[in-house]
Structure 1
């Protein structure tokens, strides 16, 4: 009995020793794959946490929205003008687009070197009123009216809007002017109604022209090239 007790005690001691060695060495020497996995787990540092992306603003900017920036508004009462005069001589109509009101105070004709000029002078504005200068086949006060006789063989129509031709109830410019120049033969006021003025410029022959806008004082100069 004593011998059996000693043998049982020795078996228990060996079993306990084996369990202790297994706990200290989880990977068996004959299992290389498991040992490599354990070693990789011990040596590989942990991956850094991803940096969160910035949250987009709740209010989009003007460029992101695609909406155009608002244009500055024009001050109330300030006259507007867009001009399309050509710097070159030609026969195409010349005009501007304006909401300026003006008063015409002068009409003059002059002759330079190879050029004859008709100058319209305005007051009460720094911006020219709306105008149009172009050739017409027949001179009329209104489209339905009978033709008006004007000296010459070619006719320039010079019209203005929102323009007052009167000073103290009388015309400030001559209604019929005959300068007797080689090209410009006659200037006739053919319409004066409600601020709408129309002048007919009779030319000796069809000629190229251009317009110039001048300031101080405000003037429109029609230059006619002599043949």
Structure 2
């Protein structure tokens, strides 16, 4: 057999063998990593982008977006709107309790914008809400930068520190942008100290507000009246 003929036959045989192997043993291409979408709904809470862990073990975040506060519930004895400090009837009693702050939600409704602080656990948070000249973090004394021209300070009592690694990621902490509101610019939760949870609401202008709690689950609600209300 001539040399050129042998070369052609060898090439054909090699090609057939390669085709047979590729039909039966080809490895699948690696799958693209799955991405999860946040669950929507009335009780949804934001998932912060963690940038660090505070001394109490809770997670910080960098500009998470507050989930929408869609509910419009209010108790029959909800307080009137006003600009003076407001607190629950038992203030300043309180201290540590069984509540864990887990979320921040902001919503826009006819006549007002609503900020909801969500809690897990039993009981009802005590509270005091008032306008402050500066957002000062307790107990450090550091001035916190909050978006907006005026600031409402919100103190909730009856809270506890997180326990265990499975709970630290669920604690509401850090800054939450209020994309679903016009008057409310930002909600910043600075953290817990001696049974109190401190947060600041940054507003474009000083406006009347009202405060009340809701149950099942426990929620602390701050409504800020808008100019069209």
Instruction: Please show how residues 75-154 of structure 1 align to structure 2 within 5 Å.
Output: 87-96=79-88, 97=90, 99=94, 100-125=97-122, 127-142=123-138, 145-154=141-150
SS at match of 2:137: coil
Structure 1 segments, 4+ long, off by >4 Å, are none
- Cα separation, 2, equivalents of 1:148 and 1:95: 23
Indicate the residue corresponding to 1:178 in structure 2.
177
Structure 1 stretches of 5 or more lacking a match? 1-84
- The alignment status of 1:196 with 2:199, answered yes or no, reads no
- Could you say if the C-alpha distance between residues 146 and 168 of structure 1 is closer, same or farther in structure 2, counting changes exceeding 3 Å? closer
- Cα separation, 2, equivalents of 1:214 and 1:129: 10
- Cα separation, 1, equivalents of 2:120 and 2:190: 21
- Could you say if the C-alpha distance between residues 221 and 165 of structure 1 is closer, same or farther in structure 2, counting changes exceeding 3 Å? farther
TM-score, normalising length from structure 2? 0.56
More helix by share: 1
SS at match of 1:145: coil
Structure 2 stretches of 5 or more lacking a match? 1-76
Q: Please list the CA deviations of residues 173-224 of structure 1 after superposition, one character each: whole Å capped at 9, or x if unmatched.
A: 2521011421000011124334321101000100100012212222111100
Q: Is the 8 A contact 1:140 1:190 kept in 2?
A: no
Q: Which has the higher contact order (CA 8 A, sep 6+)?
A: 2
Instruction: Please show how residues 161-172 of structure 1 align to structure 2 within 5 Å.
Output: 161-164=157-160, 166=162, 168-172=167-171
Q: Is the 8 A contact 1:177 1:186 kept in 2?
A: yes
- Could you say if the C-alpha distance between residues 222 and 211 of structure 1 is closer, same or farther in structure 2, counting changes exceeding 3 Å? same
Equivalent position to 1:159, from 142, 155, 177: 155
- Greater C-alpha Rg: 1
- Cα separation, 1, equivalents of 2:216 and 2:79: 20
- Could you say if the C-alpha distance between residues 87 and 193 of structure 1 is closer, same or farther in structure 2, counting changes exceeding 3 Å? closer
Instruction: Please give the root-mean-square deviation of Cα atoms over the aligned residues, in Å.
Output: 2.2
| Equivalenced residues, count | 142
SS at match of 1:182: coil
